[in-house]
């Protein structure tokens, strides 16, 4: 039975762990994939009024 590795990343301690879609044959392949995913993360900075309604955050990572 062959061991495959899944990659889980966590951006911040307030966010849940996110599992990448692929599985990898070695830990090094998984580590490289995680670094590639993090290098391709899209970041948006948005202005928010001081008094605001609570919003639902959605984090996605594309590979």
pTM of structure: 0.59
Integer Cα distance of 36 and 58 in angstroms: 20
Q: Is the pLDDT higher at 23 or at 51?
A: 23
Q: Is the pLDDT higher at 4 or at 63?
A: 4
Q: What pLDDT band is residue 26 in, cutting at 50, 70 and 90?
A: very high
Q: Is the pLDDT higher at 52 or at 34?
A: 34
pLDDT at 23: 92
C-alpha distances out from residue 18 to 5, 43, 51, 53, Å: 14, 16, 30, 26
pLDDT at 11: 85
């Amino acid at each position: 039975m062959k061991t495959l590795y899944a990659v889980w990343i966590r951006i911040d301690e307030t966010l849940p762990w996110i599992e990448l879609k692929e599985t990898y044959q070695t830990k090094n392949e998984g580590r490289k994939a995680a670094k590639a995913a993090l290098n391709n993360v899209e970041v948006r900075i948005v202005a928010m009024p001081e008094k605001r309604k609570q919003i639902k955050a959605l984090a996605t990572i594309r590979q």
